[in-house]
Chains A and B, each alone.
Chain A
Amino acid sequence: MDKNTLSAENRRKNILSAVLGIICIIYVLPVVAVVINSFKVNTYVKTNTFDIPTGEMWAGFANFIKGMTFGNYPFWKSAMYSTLITILSTALILLFTSMAAWYIARVNSKFCKAVYYLCVFSMVVPFQMVMFTLSKTADKLHLNTPWTIPIVYLGFGAGLAIFMFVGFVKSIPIEIEEAAAIDGCGPLRTYFSVVFPMLRPTMISVGILEIMWVWNDYLLPVLVLDINEYRTIPIHIQYLKGSYGTVDLGATMALILMSIIPVIIFYLACQKYIIKGVAAGAVKG
């Protein structure tokens, strides 16, 4: 290639890059809108949505202070329950489904195959199919508190996790585990000191997918939990509307901003794993 076409190619690439840059700026505008409106006096949010809050529009941190107790339920409590449920559920799912997946892949009896295919089947069942009966069952078994709802998440979320773990275990050579067994490790020790560390990459992928699912989930907790007592962040945001008749948009935006800041920090910190995990979860099959 001669110099002219090369620089023409470079120029074309620079223009493309600039165009994409502009699209990216447009892409983050909704988040920018949340930020500017969370500092705006409520009455101006609807009329001057896209103006920078200055002068009498500027509300300072009033929306944030108001938002903390807005909607008859303290926001910090919702945030705490969301965090608790997400951490507990993800930990439960990672521990128990990986153990079951190892057993399924290695023992491979008829029962194991049945459980495995049931799990695969559960992945195509939409939540609406089981939501009524599931919430009644959970109620009856007292799984309706933030400390016990992770069991429901383990049950409904087992499918994808088992599927991903079994696929991965099948790719690890069994000889390593056999060597451990010959050296006198029982199944428990073989699992925790030999298999568990090898599962790390899949643990991260499954963990990311479960965290994203549980943290953002609205329907399951709203049906299972007693919402006067316990709320998660999505429930909190949804119920702001019902509680005062007209919504205080400024305070709502302040709460939304507070709820997406941790998500964005989490994303920027583990971006590599998140993108990998999402790609792994999508290419199931």
Chain B
Amino acid sequence: MDGKKKAGFFKNPLRRWSWLFMGPVCAAFAIGFVWPFIQGIYLSFCKFKLIRDAKFIGFGNYVSAFADETFKHAFWYTALFAIVSLVLINVLAFTIAYLLTQGLKRSNLYRTVFFMPNLIGGIVLGYIWSMIFDGILSHFNTSILLESKYGFWGLIILVCWQQIGYMMIIYIAGLQAVSEDMLEAAKIDGATKMQTLFKVTIPNVMPSITICTFLGLTNGFKLFDQNLALTAGQPFIIQPDGSNIKTTEMLALNIYNTFYNSSSGSQGTAQAKAVIFFILVAGLGLLQLAYTRKREVQQ
């Protein structure tokens, strides 16, 4: 009872200032997120060019989104990209983090170097690497814009360069939390380095591995700037019906192009694609939450 009274004594004056403490954030949040989100859901069921002449048409946009070959292509391309980049980034980042926690000389310097690309923005990264790839490929009379497999692996190399350092930081934090005693015990019991790594260290950094796995997956799905700056979807394949399949176009770029670089009247389809994309990405996020929660209970 006493505690409650005390809290009230403190809370009630604060409540009178709610307009100042909550007002700005709530207003900006409504403008920057809540209203656009609700309107976005609504518009995905409408045919529109400008928002004010939106006409409700039910699930038509979703039907045309799922029927869109470029969207399907972008989905599978993105999924493949996300998985390949996820595996590569995590394996390399874990290896580097493991080596950097072995008490090597100059570890801090190396950590600084590996993390550095993470601060460079996606657009700039895209142009740096397109110069490098074209510098190499021009000796073979080709370009990253001419072969979709160059575009794919080029983008993989780019995101590896950018994100290995980031994941490495998370892994280093995880590895440093593994108790010395446990590693010592394993050593005394005669475990080899490899056995210690796979039987003691890795099980103990599982939380970091979960975080990095889902981060890698959602980062892969949401990739936009790098994709736009490196290849912008090139090379294109012209379909029999005259439409273009942009072979290296990922989901986010596909949605952007449907909104802004497409024949008129496709905005509804684009918004429906955006909702599907949101459900996909949010689903991955919720899966992560459920998974980490479950692990926390077990521990």
Contacts and interface: CB of A to CB of B under 8 A. Distances in A.
A45 B131 contact: yes
Interface string A263-277: 110111001001100
Contact of B17 (A14, A137, A188): A188
B124 A187 contact: no
A158 B161 contact: no
Given A27-B114, A115-B22, A46 B135 contact: yes
Contacts of A266: 119
Nearest to A102: B21
Interface string A33-61: 11001000000011101100000000000
B77 interface: no
A119 B37 CA distance: 13
A244 interface: no
A94 to B, nearest CB: 12
Contact of B113 (A28, A154, A256, A278): A28
B138 interface: yes
Contact of B222 (A123, A126, A158): A126
A241 to B, nearest CB: 8
B31 A103 contact: no
A285 interface: yes
A252 B127 contact: yes
A16 B107 CA distance: 11
B99 A256 contact: no
Given A30-B132, A187-B14, A99 B21 contact: yes
Contacts of A237: 123-124, 127, 229
Contact of B10 (A119, A125, A181, A252): A181
Contacts of B288: 285
Interface stretch (A62-70, A72-80, A199-207, A211-219): A211-219
B83 interface: no
Contact of B170 (A99, A130, A252, A282): A282
B178 interface: no
B11 A13 contact: no
A178 B7 CA distance: 8
A14 B105 contact: yes
B236 interface: no
Contact of B124 (A16, A159, A256): A256
Interface residues of B, number: 95
Interface stretch (B55-63, B146-154, B270-278): B270-278
Interface in A10-27: 13-14, 16-17, 20-21, 24, 27
B49 to A, nearest CB: 11
B155 to A, nearest CB: 14
Contacts of A275: 111, 115, 169
A279 B115 CA distance: 12
B185 interface: no
Given A128-B277, A259-B124, A285 B289 contact: yes
Interface string A110-147: 00100100110011111111111110111001010000
B37 A49 contact: no
Contact of A218 (B10, B34, B122, B259): B122
B86 interface: no
B211 A283 contact: yes
Interface of A: 13-14, 16-17, 20-21, 24, 27-28, 30-31, 33-34, 37, 45-47, 49-50, 96-97, 99-100, 102-104, 106-107, 112, 115, 118-119, 122-134, 136-138, 141, 143, 151-159, 162, 174, 177-178, 181, 186-188, 191, 212, 215-219, 233-234, 237-238, 249, 252-253, 256, 259-260, 263-264, 266-268, 271, 274-275, 278-279, 282-283, 285
Given A33-B131, A106-B14, A133-B39, 10 more contacts: A97-B25, A103-B21, A107-B14, A129-B277, A130-B37, A132-B267, A152-B31, A188-B17, A212-B119, A263-B120
18 contacts: A20-B106, A46-B135, A106-B10, A115-B22, A118-B34, A128-B256, A129-B275, A133-B36, A133-B37, A151-B28, A151-B31, A158-B32, A174-B10, A178-B9, A187-B17, A188-B17, A218-B122, A260-B124
Interface of B: 6-7, 9-11, 13-18, 20-22, 24-26, 28-37, 39-40, 43, 51, 96, 99-100, 102-106, 109-124, 127-129, 131-132, 134-136, 138, 161, 166, 169-170, 173, 211, 215, 221-222, 224-225, 228-229, 252, 255-256, 259, 267, 270-271, 274-275, 277-278, 281-282, 285-286, 288-289, 292
